[in-house]
Chains A and B, each alone.
Chain A
Amino acid sequence: MSNVALGSASVTVGAACAIAGIIVALLGILGYRPRWFADAKLLVGLMTLASVASVVIMERALITRDFTVQFVADNGSSQTPALFNIATLWAALEGSVLLWVLVLCGYVVAVVVKFRNDGDDPMMQWVMLTLFVVCAFFFLLMVGPSAPFTSFDPPAGYDGPGPNPLLQNHILMAFHPPILYLGYVGFTVPFAFAIAALVTGRVGEGWLVATRRWTVLAWGYLTFGIVLGAWWSYETLGWGGYWAWDPVENASFLPWLTGTAFIHSVMVQERRGMLRVWNLSLVVSTFALTILGTFITRSGVLQSVHAFVESQIGPWFLTFFALIVIVSLGLIAWRGDELRAPGRIDSPISREGAFLANNVVFAGFAFVVLLGTIFPLIVEAIDGRTISVGNPYFDQMTMPIGFTLLFLMAVAPILPWRKASGDVLSDRLIWPAWLGVGSMVFAAVVGARGWAPMLAFGLGGFAGGAALRQVVLATRRQGWRGLVGRTNGGMIVHLGVVLIAVAFAASNAYVRQGEFTLEPGDSAVISGHTLTYEGSRIVEYPNRVERKADIRVDGGQVYAPAISTYPFAGQTIGTPSVRSTLQDDIALSVLSFPEDADDAVVLRATVQPLILWLWIGGIVMAVGTALAVVPGRRRNPIAPTSALIPEPDSVEAPS
């Protein structure tokens, strides 16, 4: 059987399973089918098999270059190297929906396995119903407007163009999208539990406890996916930047912001039973923003370097987004009374007070990013003008927010719950404060100037000191266990954030760029580095031809940025070469080889300090998240400080 037929069949089977799942869950809810969970498990299994099959079939089609599949004809090529051939799956819309669904099915299976004994729990019925609805939406997307398996009649000798050259130019492309999707899709699980909690009225802390690891894990993947994306963009696009406030970058950043707010404020609810409406809203917003982001970036309403060709999925996503928002808001309003917080915050100078401030700042951050991203659409709708909102706006608006967050990161971890006295604060903060000032002095000595980066270094040192203090205290008290668990892992994540913030401030403030036209033997000097052009050479690869310019950096190693021509795609792109050290980076890219001159090159060099620390910070954040997921020291369950506020009518969620 052909790949098109097999693939379409598997997608259809998957859609049917998801819809059947909705019906089974509804029958369970209505009490018509007590053994609904067994059916649901079976359907999840079948649905997942169908999803795995569809991905395997598409990969087979890509690997065997089966150009009778339209997707392969459009995006595959006999010349694409093996690794990128596999990654071609997520190089265009239809394939990325396939991947999305695969990840989604994986999460649904994990939920079914983890809560396998909770079939009698009404909460699970609603969780499964929600999950099946989300699955059905995406499967139907593949049956309808984003069908991956449409047929194509290739003329004799046909060969495809291959994926966009930019997407087959760097190894990170193989990892950035799948990891990002693990993050995006992972938020479906807490969303399903939030909806179930609202419907069943068990709006206490049970659903939070049940899903908190899932949330942290999804958040970790999203974080790492975003950092990998920035890294990819830095290594491939060759303009020396890594974050451009591109609408798709913003679309991934928005759920990250609300997700980050949530994993902080959730602790206030667990400890004090407060902020219930807020936490539910954050979970819903995070999920809704992943859908809205997909709409914004995949429907062609906004332009972006990531946007695939315009497609018909826009109205689908918009409808789904509206459905999520309306249902969730309706449920929250309906449960309004039961969601009223039984507690109160005694003092703003307390851990919960800091978390509240943190949440307001993160919500503001998300608002600014969302506003800036969709503002061009709003203006166009109002008076037909086309405008752009970019770098200068986002930089100006987010800088004060960044400073506030760094400050909170320094103060919050050392604040006790409920109330803090001035003496306690002073004793705990003085060493972090010295570290902050110390980093400022150090920065000034090595030549840092400008108030903004200086403030960032100071606050970075302050926040880093506070996180380090907690880690040191915890490991002293508990040995290696002082590194695991949510609080301790969280402090490692904070250290990663500090590294990124400092690297971000330094690289933005002290970037130097120059464009040079060099003849062989010529040298250029930029930021104290000497770049010597030694001539160019042509290297042929199966999928491309590169003309490389050999540049000797500081009389040492030779780096070879190139201009790459992909004959099948009919595109020419630059392939940068980057010299990285812990101190600074030199990103080299060839702008052109002028035809009128003999082997001359137009070279762009960007020198930025501390770039490598961005990626190190990202890795530290990922490690911290992994440590946070490992169960930490159990608190004494009857310790008065950690007991949940009892609620007569709340039943614990399945665990």
Chain B
Amino acid sequence: MTRRLASWLAVASLGLSMLVFATVDEGPPLSNADRAYSLAQDFACPVCQGQSVAESDVVVARNIRREIRVWVDEGRSDAFIRDQLVDTFGEDVDYTPSAEGVTALVWILPVVGGAVAVTGLGLVFRRWQRDADLEATDEDQVLVEQAMADRG
């Protein structure tokens, strides 16, 4: 085993173990307040312009934050909280577009686009590589030598 290979193996295994460690060891659990804050960012304040419940200072947003906090303290699920808010304020308070019906497009299109782009890129490179087996002609050689001579 060369030193280079050993070095890369060490980097890779150390990096991977750090990732695994960071995934497995969860650290201190999220407090209810943190979960409530995170949830508040996922919902639009129903009366504000483009602000989330977490951002806004208006009374409605403050009340929703309080309600979310109560639900979190009661141990309710994210889905329950979402349904409650959507039932009360309408679908447009939910910042996460649903994955059903027309709205699913917003999730699907980027994935499809990404796949197409990667495939396209792969095809282009393959074509370029196939065409790349050109030999330099004598003329090319002369050109290069001339350029080198001019440079020196």
Contacts and interface: CB of A to CB of B under 8 A. Distances in A.
Interface string B72-96: 0000000000000000001111111
B142 to A, nearest CB: 13
Given A304-B50, A360-B117, A430 B106 contact: no
A303 B113 CA distance: 27
B50 A449 contact: no
A592 B51 CA distance: 19
Contacts of B50: 244, 246-248, 302-307
Contact of A367 (B21, B98, B113): B113
A244 B52 contact: yes
A46 to B, nearest CB: 40
A356 B57 CA distance: 44
A363 B114 CA distance: 10
Interface string B25-63: 111000101100100011010001111101111000010
B110 A371 contact: yes
Of the listed residues B18, B103, B128, B144, the one surrounded by the most CB atoms of chain A closer than 10 A to its CB is B18
A240 B8 CA distance: 40
A282 to B, nearest CB: 15
A307 to B, nearest CB: 6
B33 A455 contact: no
A382 B105 CA distance: 12
Nearest to B23: A451
Given A345-B128, A371-B106, A371-B110, A386 B19 contact: no
B95 A388 contact: yes
B103 A454 contact: no
A368 interface: yes
A347 B131 CA distance: 11
Nearest to A249: B50
Contacts of A448: 22
B148 interface: yes
B136 interface: no
A640 interface: yes
Contacts of B113: 364, 367
B8 A388 contact: no
Contacts of A363: 117
Contacts of B15: 433, 436-437, 440, 458
Contacts of B129: 346-347
A110 interface: no
Given A241-B54, A247-B50, A437 B11 contact: yes
Interface in B120-152: 121, 124-125, 128-129, 131-132, 144, 147-148, 150-151
A597 interface: no
A309 to B, nearest CB: 11
A513 B34 contact: yes
A305 B51 contact: yes
Nearest to B18: A440
Contacts of B121: 348, 356-357, 360
B14 interface: yes
A528 to B, nearest CB: 11
Nearest to B109: A371
A512 to B, nearest CB: 6
A375 B151 contact: no
Given A368-B110, A388-B97, A391-B52, 20 more contacts: A240-B54, A347-B125, A347-B129, A353-B125, A367-B109, A388-B93, A389-B97, A397-B110, A437-B15, A437-B18, A441-B14, A449-B27, A451-B19, A453-B22, A454-B19, A458-B15, A512-B34, A514-B31, A640-B147, A643-B147
Interface of B: 4, 7-8, 11, 14-15, 18-19, 21-23, 25-27, 31, 33-34, 37, 41-42, 44, 48-52, 54-57, 62, 65, 69, 90-98, 102-103, 105-107, 109-110, 113-114, 117-118, 121, 124-125, 128-129, 131-132, 144, 147-148, 150-151
14 contacts: A237-B55, A244-B50, A248-B50, A304-B49, A347-B129, A371-B110, A393-B107, A430-B8, A434-B11, A443-B18, A454-B18, A514-B33, A573-B57, A636-B151
- Ranked nearest first, the 9 interchain pairs of A and B with the lowest CB-CB distance are A390-B95, A449-B27, A454-B22, A304-B50, A440-B18, A513-B37, A303-B49, A451-B23, A392-B96
